Structure 1
Amino acid sequence: MSVPAPAAALRHWNRLIQLAAASGSHTLCLGHYASLLAAGLRGGDASTFPSLAKSCATLRLPRLGRSLHAHALLAGAAGDVFVRTSLLDFYAKCASLPDARRLFDEMPTTSRTLVSWNCMVTAYSKASRLAEAVNMFNAMRGLGVSPAGGTLVGVLSGCSDSMAARNIGMCVYGYSLKSGLDADLPVSNSVLTMLVRDGQLHAASLLFDSMREKSIVSWSAMASGFLQTGDFNKVFALLNRMQGAGHTFDSVALVNLVSAAVLLGNLLVAKGVHALLIRSGFQSEQDLVSSLVNMYAKCGDLEAAQEVFDVVHYKNVVLWTSMINGYVEGGRPDKALTMFDSMLRTDVQPNGATVSSVLSACADLGSANQARKVEEHVASVGLQSDLRVATGLIDTYCKCGSVELARKIFDDVTITNRDLPIWSAMINGYACNGEGSEALALFSEMQKEGVQPDAIIFTHLLTACNYSGLIDEGLRCFHSLTVEYGIEPSIEHYMCITDLLCKSGQISTAKEFFKKIPIQLRNQVLAPIVSAYSSQCADSSMDSVSEELLNLDPQDSGHFVLISNMLSCLGNWKKATTYRTQLSKKGLVKEPGRSCIELSA
């Protein structure tokens, strides 16, 4: 048993521990405590443990925090209100809700501070247990404890997941207005964030404009809202106003700025954003560097993206994935695979997102051999259970024509783990390879498993029926889409049915179906009807349809070619030549078709 140290020595260690925690040096703080124990002290007193609990909470060290709780009990300090509150905060932040609630219930009602109530409210809210957070909020008010801004922020932190949660959030906002807490900046920021996440940009803008005080959080929240709608002009204007108001960019604001530059797709603006990022001193931050790589790739400057990538000394998986994906989206799948090979020679392990990008490159190249190599690596690093990876493999194999390999991947995933994307990928694989009956059979199996289809699944099914000439099945699928599942048909659904009817020679039925299509979508559906008339040498009554087609979309070179071919088929060579001439005069060029095959090594 150690001999108690003099009070002066304990005060010395306590001061070091408190200073380290206050400065954010949490690892050093815990190191000081280890030194205190090594010096033969009993474990501290009531002044020791609050800082230690804060460090364990910040570093998310639940096991060490529980040990500290035991030390506090042995030292007789666990009954102190500040020690109890700090331990409660630790359990709450480490998502140990049962331990937090047990400690809270053990606290005498009179010793429960506002901080302890706030800890429990926030913990329940962040764990998506909003009902319990609200119960705790009401309980504290029932006991005469007045909520503060931090209490409302705690409840609002969980009010974005559902309509019911957002309704509670609006009630909390109403309470803040009634109690005068709406002037508290963190409360206003929390409400603003909630409105933005709910897509209520008009309400968010009104709140933002009414705020007398704004922080960088306020500006960034509003910018992210405009990004959701793709309004990059408002993002640039907002961040310019932010600078004019005297705020400096932080990493979140810069990410929003880079995202806006990605949406704009202007290389000159992208370089200006890059220069600002360098001036702000964030050029080495990994997340921002990854965003820069993505920005340059989206702007079509893959060389600049590679230069940004190359100057980073330590490259994490996010940066590697950004560069690989940049080459995939930039039409350089060969370079993407080369980058992946380079990545495998480092100590950085690819994740599901990396593999998905690499598989897209394999699909673009039509290389089943490369896909097999990726699959072998996936198995070696234990990523085969990742549903996103399995879905990517299925999609890639199907695009390479290896439907049997895709089905094997699909069958290896247990039925209970199959999500909608993996069903969709396999059904689409059958559709694109002309195996319509198999696609319909798999859809029936999916329905038996209780998986709810979406609009994309029906696009795949109608494509399958179209490619396989399954007229009755296609019409039944369209009926099921609209009547059984109440899904609004998209242009893809209308196009598939129109094309299916025209290819089967049912042009009159196709024309009747065409009349039921919303007017704003008809221009994209006329082409199959014109093509069908052309192939069957229809009468000259189709001449008016061709004019309507050009009026709806005068810049589509494919429409000119279709009409010219149709007129040639009708024997109207002179007018066919006229349309070909118009194509040249307008400067339109027919994009050549292309295909590729992979030769066995």
Structure 2
Amino acid sequence: MSDTAPAAAALNHWNRLIQLAAASGYYADCLRLYAGSLLATDIRGDASTFPSLAKSCAALRLPGLGRVIHARAFLAGTAVSRDAFVRTALIDMYAKCGRLPDARRLFDETPRSSRTLVAWNCMVSAYGRSSQMDEAIAVFNAMRRAEVRPSGSTLVGLLSGCADSVSARNIGACLYGYSVKSGLDADLLVLNSVLTMLIRGNQLDTAQSLFDRVENKSVVTWTAMASGYLQVKDCVKVFDLFRAMRVTEQSMDSAVLINLTAAATLFGNVLVAKGVHALVIKGGFQFQDDLAASLVNLYTRCGDPLAAKEVFDSVHCKNAVLWTSMLNGYVKCGCPDKALESFDAMLCARVEPNRATLLAVLSACANLGSPNLGHKVEEHVIAIGLQSDLQVSTGLIYMHCKCGSIQHARKIFDSVSNRDLAIWSAMINGYACNGEGSEALALFSEMQNKGIQPDAIVFTHVLTACSHSGLVDEGLNCFHRMTVEYGIKPSIEHYMCMMDLLSKAGHLSVAMKFFKEMPVQLRNQVLAPLIGAHKAHGVDSSIDILSEELLNLEPQDSSHCVLISNMLSCLGEWKKARNYRRLISKQGLVKKPGWSYIELGA
């Protein structure tokens, strides 16, 4: 008795420390206490020791160490290894670590009488998280047959899987009906899960009705509803929800402010952006990486890169997401040189770029048209092993094509085995922009032979190739196939390509036919090339009608006045040409200067 009492007291002491560390979130310390201290005393532990250890392995996603803990529990004796709480904790650990077969095996080995509600919920949630809804429902039904009453957590686990699976939305509706019938719909966690499922299923009206019926809304309820309106880009509704939430004196968290920042980004007003920024500072969230990155994105979308840089500079420990937001911001604001300077600074700060970072840098190189810088970035891509990434390969192809290195782009394209539509589109566009129309059409034909169906963007690239290379018959054929065979409705880009193609080739009657068949709201954007064609071919039959329509549609564009004046001068209509030039001064318009870019030392 005297020998066992000190050992029991010591075990109780270590158990309290282990449990306290796990309960406080110090999971690594919890595991160190066991491995470095308890095992050193040659005490194996008991049923109070292992649940906290399993919880720590689950939180840190350490399935290998979890197996060791499982083995130690087995060695501690039958009473420990068969304890319901120990088994439940181990099942939860395996499930959260993504080891579903191990979790299921241990669950099946557990006697029915020892299966706790938590153990059942662990299995349901694990299958739900991995979108294995058939298995999740099977466990749910087995649970009910075993006369174990489901809890709100059971339904939350099931509904999470329904939210992420399109085919399981009907099951989700049935589960909501079950929650109403069983009285579990009073559980706010269940209602929030139903709300999330409806929003992800684009059932916004139904979600709004449910939201209105929830009395004691949590911050998760408000955030879920706001995210629904963000999906449909209704920024006004997001701001309305935020105001209503503030009236209820509901506390804010970073998720609320990220939604608000996203709504302000859609709004695109710098004064609104500054108001949201003030709320972030007031809430004390300005140094959080995700919110700082959202604010950087917000200011650059509003055309204020200086404010974005101030937010960026205010964060001391910048992660890759924040650097990438700043890089993307410079690219969107038309400052690719600043983006490349930031990339150099990021590397100097020893922050490892990710895929999104490299895509932003490649876009900057493409906008600059700098092959030297492009090759340097490609060397970095290869150095960190991202050359096989499909999106990065697409970015490299786009960049090299923009820089005129079409052959190098084709080598990258040929090296990719699992090509998707985006990479085919990038290569076709590369040929189109470099005036190699025949190659673009050949690649387009090859893509179709591979069974990849083109979309509206690919057809834009193909029609551009036809336009740049003067392939009139091929262009007309592609436009016909796009509308008739693939059922794609022509956009302004498609019409612009066709007008440009036909006008340059002198097919003005066909071009006029296209013009008359176009939607009225799109005509102003294709009048310029049509008038230019009349100038090039010396045709004046419909010039007055076209000129008048162009100026009526775009009265504030000085370039149109210059275009019409130049064309009339070529036709010998000097008086009319002079009148159009006078319009620029009379209406206070400014002629935009042209500019060009060259790379020194290339």
TM-score (norm 1): 0.93
Task: For residue 487 of structure 1, give the secondary structure of its aligned residue in structure 2.
Answer: coil
Task: For residue 542 of structure 2, give the secondary structure of its aligned residue in structure 1.
Answer: helix
| Contact 1:4-1:41 within 8 A present in 2 as well | no
| Contact 1:540-1:570 within 8 A present in 2 as well | no
Segment drifting more, 186-195 vs 554-563: 554-563
Note the C-alpha offset of 1:187.
1.5
Note the C-alpha offset of 1:594.
2.9
The answer to whether residue 335 in structure 2 is matched with residue 321 in structure 1 is no
Task: For residue 360 of structure 1, give the secondary structure of its aligned residue in structure 2.
Answer: helix
Task: For residue 158 of structure 1, give the secondary structure of its aligned residue in structure 2.
Answer: helix
Note the C-alpha offset of 1:60.
0.9
Segment drifting more, 106-115 vs 552-561: 552-561
Where in structure 2 are the equivalents of 1:403-414 lying within 5 Å? 403-413=406-416
Change (3 A) 1:194 1:530: farther
Change (3 A) 1:513 1:304: closer
The answer to whether residue 106 in structure 2 is matched with residue 103 in structure 1 is yes
- Among residues 148, 152, 163, which one is paired with 1:145 in the alignment? 148
Change (3 A) 1:481 1:43: farther
Change (3 A) 1:9 1:566: same
Note the C-alpha offset of 1:162.
4.8
Change (3 A) 1:569 1:171: farther
| Contact 1:3-1:40 within 8 A present in 2 as well | no
| Contact 2:330-2:339 within 8 A present in 1 as well | yes
Which residue does the alignment assign to 1:443? 444
Note the C-alpha offset of 1:589.
3.3
| Contact 2:131-2:165 within 8 A present in 1 as well | no
Where in structure 2 are the equivalents of 1:496-575 lying within 5 Å? 496-575=497-576
| Alignment-mate amino acid for residue 13 of structure 2 | H
Where in structure 2 are the equivalents of 1:470-481 lying within 5 Å? 470-481=471-482
| CA RMSD, Structure 1 to Structure 2 (Å) | 2.4
Mapped partners of 1:90, 1:388: distance in 2: 35
Q: How many residues align?
A: 598
The answer to whether residue 185 in structure 2 is matched with residue 182 in structure 1 is yes
Mapped partners of 1:286, 1:23: distance in 2: 24
Unaligned runs of 5+ in 2: none
Mapped partners of 2:411, 2:5: distance in 1: 68
| Contact 2:551-2:560 within 8 A present in 1 as well | yes
Mapped partners of 1:348, 1:166: distance in 2: 41
| Alignment-mate amino acid for residue 272 of structure 1 | G
Mapped partners of 2:181, 2:491: distance in 1: 46
Which residue does the alignment assign to 1:402? 405
Mapped partners of 1:585, 1:169: distance in 2: 66
Note the C-alpha offset of 1:44.
1.3
Note the C-alpha offset of 1:185.
1.0
Where in structure 2 are the equivalents of 1:334-413 lying within 5 Å? 334-413=337-416
Cα offsets for 1:251-277 (capped at 9, x unmatched)? 111211222232333333333322322
Note the C-alpha offset of 1:119.
1.4
Mapped partners of 2:580, 2:125: distance in 1: 69
Mapped partners of 1:588, 1:202: distance in 2: 47
| Contact 2:11-2:43 within 8 A present in 1 as well | no
Change (3 A) 1:117 1:519: farther
| Alignment-mate amino acid for residue 182 of structure 1 | D
Cα offsets for 1:249-303 (capped at 9, x unmatched)? 2111121122223233333333332232222222221222222222233333333
Mapped partners of 2:204, 2:94: distance in 1: 36
Change (3 A) 1:558 1:196: farther
Unaligned runs of 5+ in 1: none
Where in structure 2 are the equivalents of 1:103-252 lying within 5 Å? 103-252=106-255
| Contact 2:287-2:314 within 8 A present in 1 as well | no
| Alignment-mate amino acid for residue 488 of structure 1 | K
Note the C-alpha offset of 1:64.
0.9
Mapped partners of 1:174, 1:567: distance in 2: 73
Task: For residue 592 of structure 2, give the secondary structure of its aligned residue in structure 1.
Answer: coil
Change (3 A) 1:90 1:162: closer
TM-score (norm 2): 0.93
Mapped partners of 2:332, 2:562: distance in 1: 29
Which residue does the alignment assign to 2:32? 31
Change (3 A) 1:520 1:129: farther
Change (3 A) 1:325 1:164: same
Task: For residue 353 of structure 2, give the secondary structure of its aligned residue in structure 1.
Answer: coil
Note the C-alpha offset of 1:18.
1.5
Task: For residue 159 of structure 1, give the secondary structure of its aligned residue in structure 2.
Answer: helix
Mapped partners of 1:153, 1:553: distance in 2: 56
Mapped partners of 2:534, 2:110: distance in 1: 83
Which aligned segments of 4 or more residues in structure 1 are displaced greater than 6 angstroms?
Answer: 2-5
Which residue does the alignment assign to 2:68? 67
